[in-house]
Amino acid sequence: MSKSYFGTDGVRGTVGNDPMTADFAMRLASATTQVLVPQGGTVVIGKDTRLSGYMFESALEAGFIAAGADVLLLGPLPTPGIARLTQEFDADLGVVISASHNAFSDNGIKFFDRSGSKLTDEIEEQIEEHLKNPAITLGSQALGKAKRIDTARSRYQEFCASSMPEGVDLEGIKVVFDGANGAAYKVGPRTLANLGAEVIPIGCSPNGRNINAGCGSTEPDLLQMTVPAVKADVGVALDGDGDRVVMVDEKGELIDGDQLLYVLAMARKDKGGLKGPVVGTVMSNLGLEHALRDRDIDFKRAAVGDRYVLETLRSTGGIIGGETSGHMLVLDKTTTGDGLISALQVLAIMKESGKKLSELVSGMPKYPQTMVNVRMEQRMDPATSKPIQDAVRAAETELAETGRVVLRASGTEPVIRVMVEGEDREQVVSLAERLASVVAASAA
């Protein structure tokens, strides 16, 4: 069964357009209650700093209460914090109101089950079946009730701090923290400061409209300028909902998710605490794979999307995985992608080793990578086209062991993404353009 509303990470869209309306949010709450909280259990709701979050919080609260569920309102809190507090409060469901790294004009709604994990495709399909019906309102005796939790931030801060190795603090480390004017604008600086770091906050003044605007993990230019300007040791940038992280070394150089994965894997390997393979995606840099191979660390690639990285980690017994974008999974610390906890692990490695971040990443080469998006009249699977596959094989032969080719159909729009990666930048660009021309001709 195909899904009409749920994508790879909940329901998302432009506020005011279907499905991101107050009416839909109320129906979604009602449908989800009937599937996951049928006996009148407890739901926690958190959000990022978007202006529309107030509207969706109220609509969801009404829908859950009308269907008989009790609601705990957490206020602005990173997505992984909501996953954690779902477990801590022994709730049946966690709800996040956020569009992650998107602009403030978008918003989204995603869910965690009682274990702090994302819902399965099967559960989402059941919810969509119930969405075909109007929202329900029970009689007065059966209605749920709501309560605002004032300790949500402090509870999450304590949990993040507890992820640090025993006896390790951040005394002596100067950190520029970029909160993307999003959900981590308070908990990020406070957690770092409580651990002893000297913190310089930027992107920590949300006004409801400036989330992810010129700041955060998707636009780290300001962070890259600020770190060397204030002679900081390191910079940390989260996205709007706090589940992604990129970092900046003391020189102002951007350190992406692949490089952070390398740092985490190397440290675990050296301590003997690395379990299973390290998991990236089909888009992870080839330099990461080669660097891990040279240290006899198994590396596996999953489809793009943190849920697929998580599935591969669980099926292989791995504990560390992530995407180039900075969506990191450290499963012996928490159940879902957590930008702040991932950053803390890297900062702890810096403190314990006495090394700068630039030194820690120096063992991983980053191969040139070029992406060309080819727009189609309608969606197509490039694997079904003989001319495209012949061109791919020719490019792979030319690259030999020094590079690779990935063709991927977008899951949200009629676009084929052509990615070529290799040691020689000119060769990579030339092959990407040649493949894109074949794809475009095949779709004509």
pLDDT in tens, 207-257: 999 999 999 999 999 999 999 999 999 999 999 999 999 999 999 999 999
Q: What band does 438 get if pLDDT is binned at 50, 70 and 90?
A: very high
Supply the angle between the helices 121-130 and 22-36 in degrees, to the nearest 10: 120
In a shared domain, residues 198 and 342: yes
Between 415 and 130, where is the model more confident?
A: 130
Whether 115 is in a domain gets the answer yes
The answer as to whether 1 is a domain residue is: no
From residue 53, give the alpha-carbon distance in Å to each of 75, 107, 111. 9, 8, 15
Classified as helix, coil or strand, 213 is: coil
pLDDT at site 402:
86
**Same domain (yes/no): 328, 354:** yes
Whole-number pLDDT of residue 1: 57
Confidence of residue 35 (pLDDT cuts 50, 70, 90): very high
Q: How far apart are the first and last CA of the chain?
A: 30
Instruction: Say yes or no: 55 and 109 in one domain.
Output: yes
Residues 28 and 81 in one domain: yes
Mean pLDDT of the region 82-111:
96
Q: Within a domain: residue 389?
A: yes
Residue 261 lies in a domain: yes
Which of 360, 380, 406 terminates a domain? The answer is 360
- In this prediction, residues 274-287 reach a mean pLDDT of 95
The pLDDT, as a whole number, for residue 409 is 83
Final residue of a structural domain among 133, 150, 167: 150
Judge contact between 93 and 114, C-beta under 8 A.
yes
Residues 255 and 304 in one domain: yes
Distance CA 45, CA 62 (A): 12
Using DSSP, state whether 390 is helix, strand or coil.
helix
**142 and 197 co-located in one domain:** no
Report the catalytic residues: 100
Q: How many residues are there in the chain?
A: 444
308 shares a domain with 239: yes
User: Are 230 and 261 members of one domain?
Assistant: yes
Contact of 104 with 64, CB cutoff 8 Å: no
DSSP 287-323: HHHHHHHHTT--EEEE-SSHHHHHHHHHHHT--EEE-
**Residue 61 domain-assigned?**
yes
Q: Which of 263, 278, 265 is nearest to 346 (CA)?
A: 263
- SS3 assignment, position 106: strand
Mean pLDDT, range 293-302, rounded to an integer: 96
Domain that holds residue 143: 11-150
Q: Is 96 in the same domain as 213?
A: no
pLDDT of residue 411: 65
pLDDT at residue 328 greater than cutoff 60: yes
CATH classification at residue 125? 3.40.120.10
Domain final position from 150, 183, 217: 150
Residue 72 pLDDT grade (very low, low, confident, very high; cuts 50, 70, 90): very high
290 pLDDT tier (thresholds 50, 70, 90): very high
Same domain flag for 375 and 424: yes
Edge-first strand order for the sheet with 403-409 is: 369-375, 415-422, 403-409
Is 168 a residue whose pLDDT tops 70? yes
Lowest mean pLDDT among 35-49, 282-296, 397-411, 424-438: 397-411
The pLDDT value recorded for residue 74 is 98
**312, amino acid identity:** T
pLDDT at 381: 83
Q: What percent of the chain has pLDDT over 70?
A: 99
Percentage with pLDDT > 90 across the chain? 89
* The pair of three-digit structure tokens given for residue 97, joined into one six-digit string: 């109101």
Within a domain: 217: yes
Across 350-364, average pLDDT: 98
Q: Which residues contact 354 (CB under 8 A, 6 or more apart)?
A: none
Q: Is 6 a domain residue?
A: no
User: Do 90 and 127 belong together in one domain?
Assistant: yes
pLDDT at 434 over 80: yes
pLDDT at 40 over 70: yes
* pLDDT per residue as tens digits for the range 372-400: 999 887 777 888 889 999 999 999 999 98
Is 45's pLDDT higher than 60? Answer: yes
Whole-model pTM?
Answer: 0.92
Average pLDDT over residues 39-53: 96
2 found inside a domain: no
Average pLDDT over residues 323-344: 95
Taking the C-alpha atoms of residue 41 and residue 414, their distance in angstroms, rounded to an integer, is 41
Instruction: Name the domain count of the chain.
Output: 3
